[in-house]
């Protein structure tokens, strides 16, 4: 498996599990910096490699009236502040071609949303400009189909690739996780991340917003670590019930350090056995 480097972080090839965490969407400057600082404290205390994530524009909200974020310009400046003031590498998702260049100047990782993972021209352009590209597997795709996406990224000249599992459509407004997908996608030779909180999302389940079952995210994350995943992706918020996006499936920030300790212990056991 290829190692992927994000600053000082090394992902894959049996390296310790990496945490990708942050709020679903940037709500404002102050709250974003506050969450990033709390995550930095957890990172320092536990020694877990950490990438901060937040969306500057949630272009795929259920309702046209839903909060989307501050937009490209202001959002990227806030993420730049997270890098400079807090000292964390940053990840965000891009939805349009015109966002790719400005985002690539600031972000350490550019993420292709699950809904766009089969858009060939878009995926390849992100791959051309990104330092590191994270592609989320579409909810509508089998894990072996991601081999075609991997080939698109490689043809664009980028082998700093991460693949993220985020569940598969299972009936209406529901997702299910097949944990066979993690080793199947690792066979492509790149690090695989498990998105614990989006995997318990109930897309459109509240009519004009998505529902979720955040308690189940902890069980799924534990299972993914036991399988040998390279990273855990989770959305966190100080008060998920008041979050402006994805609150029902976001983890409570104050409870994060305890579950991370569990993930790290299990990760060490699994990778020591493999090694």
Residue 226's pLDDT band (cuts 50, 70, 90) = very high
* Stated pTM of the model: 0.96
CA distance 194 to 157: 25
Tens-digit pLDDT profile for residues 115-147: 999 999 999 999 999 999 999 999 999 999 999
Beta strands in the chain (DSSP E): 4-6, 9-11, 18-22, 50-53, 90-93, 109-112, 133-136, 161-165, 168-169, 175-176, 192-195, 201-202, 211-212, 231-237, 251-252
Lowest mean pLDDT among 52-56, 63-67, 92-96, 204-208: 204-208
Fold of 4-274: TIM Barrel (3.20.20)
Residue 50 has pLDDT above 70, yes or no: yes
CA distance 271 to 213: 29
Distances (CA, A) of 2 to 10, 12, 34: 10, 7, 34
Residues 6+ away with beta carbon under 8 Å from 178: 143, 168
CA distance 43 to 253: 13
Distances (CA, A) of 113 to 135, 148, 150: 7, 16, 15
Q: Would you say how long the chain is, in residues?
A: 275
Summarize the confidence of residues 171-185 as an average pLDDT.
96
Summarize the confidence of residues 148-176 as an average pLDDT.
97
Torsion on CA atoms 167, 169, 170, 174, rounded to nearest 10: 80
């Amino acid at each position: 498996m290829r190692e992927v480097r994000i600053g000082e972080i090394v992902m894959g090839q049996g390296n310790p599990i990496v945490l990708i965490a942050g709020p679903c969407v940037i709500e404002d400057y102050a709250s974003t910096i506050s969450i990033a600082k709390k995550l930095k404290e957890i990172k320092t205390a536990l020694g877990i490699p950490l990438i901060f994530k937040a969306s500057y524009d949630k272009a795929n909200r259920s309702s046209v009236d839903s909060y989307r974020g501050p937009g490209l310009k202001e959002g990227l400046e806030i993420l730049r502040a997270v890098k400079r003031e807090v000292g964390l590498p940053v990840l965000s998702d891009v939805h349009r071609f015109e966002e790719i260049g400005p985002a690539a100047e600031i972000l350490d990782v550019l993420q292709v949303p699950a809904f766009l993972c089969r858009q060939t021209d878009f995926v390849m352009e992100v791959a051309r400009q990104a330092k590191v590209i994270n592609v989320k597997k579409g909810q509508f795709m089998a894990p072996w189909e991601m081999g075609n996406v991997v080939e698109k990224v490689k043809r664009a000249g980028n082998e700093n690739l991460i693949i993220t599992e985020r569940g598969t459509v299972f009936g209406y407004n529901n997702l299910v996780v097949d944990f066979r997908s993690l080793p199947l996608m690792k066979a492509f030779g790149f690090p695989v991340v498990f998105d614990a909180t989006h995997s318990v999302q109930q897309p459109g389940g509240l009519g004009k917003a998505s529902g979720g079952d955040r308690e189940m995210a902890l069980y799924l994350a534990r299972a993914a670590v036991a399988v040998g995943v390279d990273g855990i992706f989770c959305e966190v918020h100080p008060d998920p019930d008041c979050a402006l996006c994805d609150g029902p499936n976001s983890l409570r920030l104050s409870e994060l350090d305890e579950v991370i300790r569990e993930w790290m212990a299990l990760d060490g056991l699994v990778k020591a056995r493999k090694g």
